[in-house]
Amino acid sequence: MRKNEPYIRIYRGIYYIHHRIHNKIYRVSTGTKDEAAAKRCLADYLDGLSSLPEKNEVTVNDAINIYLKEKEHKVAMGEMRDSNFAKLSNFFKQPRLLLGDLFTRQINRNVCRHYIERRVRMNPDISSSTIRTELAHLRSALSFCFKEGHIYNDFMFYLPKASAPRQRILTLAEIRKILIYRSDSHIRRFCIIALCTGQRAGAILELTFDRVDFDKGVLDFSDAFVSNKKRGIVYMNSLLRLELESARASNTSEYVIEYKGNGVKCVKNSLKTLFRNLGIEGASAHTLKHTAVSLFMNSGVSSSELSLMINTTEQTLSKHYSKAIPDFLKPKYEIMANLIKVNGK
């Protein structure tokens, strides 16, 4: 909390707003013994409002619950993955903690900026994109409640700029470290599939053996869910075939990636451990996909071919992987130098 920032404190059973102005502390009663109601009064105070919150209004927590209830229905109807619902719920943890007691009508740009400042103070290493995603999901929840008639007030949001895209690419030496890691490791198997197919983590973790066709040599990552995250059918190369045959012989579940006989929902921590043990810094699951795209492009695969290989549009490749300029294009840049030479120099 900043030095002169207003805050609430309980005094003789009643919450008061304390505000230091020119080294003098002013105290304003909220008239309530309830901490949640006092927080709402503080939000009104920060926004310069004089009226206290009205009764029977919808709080941010209420709006989030209504929104998640709709998503639960989609999961039950087979229109949304359980894993995606879990991720969505997780993104609401901090908004619930910091904004949950406020009324939806109190959410505005100043409150959003205050939320951003608090998130950074709580975790100085947090990325701008993470905070942006949290607020964007909260905006979606409030928009849904507004359209459904649960709330009657419009609201204004402020979202921070997204962080610069991560451009980390594994070197061939780092990839070899992964390949010689424990052959029975599920995380090593995950890395090999990611590098060979360029697929996202979720698609790999949900892959089951009934969608692996060894006779045709293909893997079917597609499923029944409609999403903007494209999935499709890819061919297995010789390295991937050996890894999949080993998995089929040793696994006891239907999942290609399994740990202790069960499917794996998340590999974030396992990847961190693997990369730390191998001395690979600044890498994540997305690094594997980025590396696959870069290596394919540097080997002469065109963007049109690559978009089919990894089930990603050419527009997305251009937008997110444009810095991975193929090495074979380097000599092309000498064309201009040869054309504009003066007197042979």
Asked if residue 52 is part of any domain, the answer here is no
Angle at 182 between CA 179 and CA 187, to 5 degrees: 75
Same domain, residue pair 220 and 312: yes
Q: Minimal CA–CA distance to 82: which of 172, 166, 202?
A: 202
Read off the amino acid at residue 180.
Answer: I
Strands (E), the chain: 7-11, 14-21, 24-29, 212-213, 218-220, 233-235, 258-259, 262-263
Tally of helices (H runs) and strands (E runs) in the chain: 15, 8
How many domains would you assign to the chain?
3
Mapped onto helix, strand or coil, the DSSP state of residue 281 is: coil
pTM listed for this prediction: 0.66
Mean pLDDT computed over 27-48: 80
- Pairwise pLDDT comparison (106 vs 336), residue with the higher score: 106
Model pLDDT for residues 21-31, shown as the tens digit of each residue: 667 777 777 87
**Angle between helical axes of 109-122 and 128-147 (0-180°, round to 10):** 140
| 208, 219 Cβ separation under 8 angstroms | no
pLDDT of residue 322: 60
- Domain residues for the domain of 109 are 60-147
Both 311 and 190 in one domain: the answer is yes
Residue 243 contacts residue 193 (beta carbons within 8 Å): yes
**Neighbouring C-beta atoms of residue 253, cutoff 10 Å:** 15
Residue 91 lies in a domain: yes
The answer to whether residue 341 sits within a structural domain is: no
Tell whether 74 and 121 lie within a shared domain: yes
Residue 204 and residue 100 share a domain: no
Band the pLDDT of 52: cuts 50, 70, 90.
Answer: very low
137 within a domain of the structure (yes/no) = yes
Does residue 141 sit in the same domain as residue 88?
Answer: yes
- Domain assignment present for residue 164? The answer is no
Task: Give the model's pLDDT for residue 341.
Answer: 64
> Of the given ranges (89-93, 227-231, 313-317), which has the lowest mean pLDDT?
227-231
**142-187: pLDDT as tens digits:** 999 888 878 877 678 999 998 876 778 899 999 999 999 887 789 9
Q: What does the DSSP assignment read for 88-118?
A: HHHHTHHHHHHHTTSBGGG--HHHHHHHHHH
124, 256: one domain? no
* Percentage, residues of the chain above pLDDT 90: 44
DSSP string, 211-267: GEETTTTEEE---S---SS---EEE--HHHHHHHHHHHHH--SSBSSEETTEE-S--
Does some domain include residue 55?
no
Summarize pLDDT for 93-144 with one digit per residue, the tens. Answer: 999 999 999 989 889 999 999 999 999 999 998 999 999 999 999 999 999 9
User: Based on the domain organization, do 36 and 64 belong to the same domain?
Assistant: no
Average pLDDT, the chain: 84
What is the rounded CA–CA span in Å between residue 277 and residue 308?
34
118 assigned to some structural domain: yes
| Whole-number Å distance between alpha carbons of 10 and 146 | 34
Give the gyration radius of the chain's Cα atoms.
Answer: 26
Same domain, yes or no, for 291 and 258?
Answer: yes
Query: Is residue 84 over pLDDT 90?
Result: no
What DSSP character marks residue 29? E
CATH classification at residue 279: 1.10.443.10
Query: Do 88 and 194 reside in the same domain of the chain?
Result: no
Question: Is 71 inside any structural domain?
Answer: yes
User: Is there a single domain that holds both residue 323 and residue 184?
Assistant: yes
pLDDT of residue 158: 93
Q: How far apart are CA 229 and CA 289, in angstroms?
A: 14
Same domain, 183 and 242: yes
Question: What pLDDT shows up at residue 48?
Answer: 60
Same domain (yes/no): 285, 202: yes
Report pLDDT for 258. 95
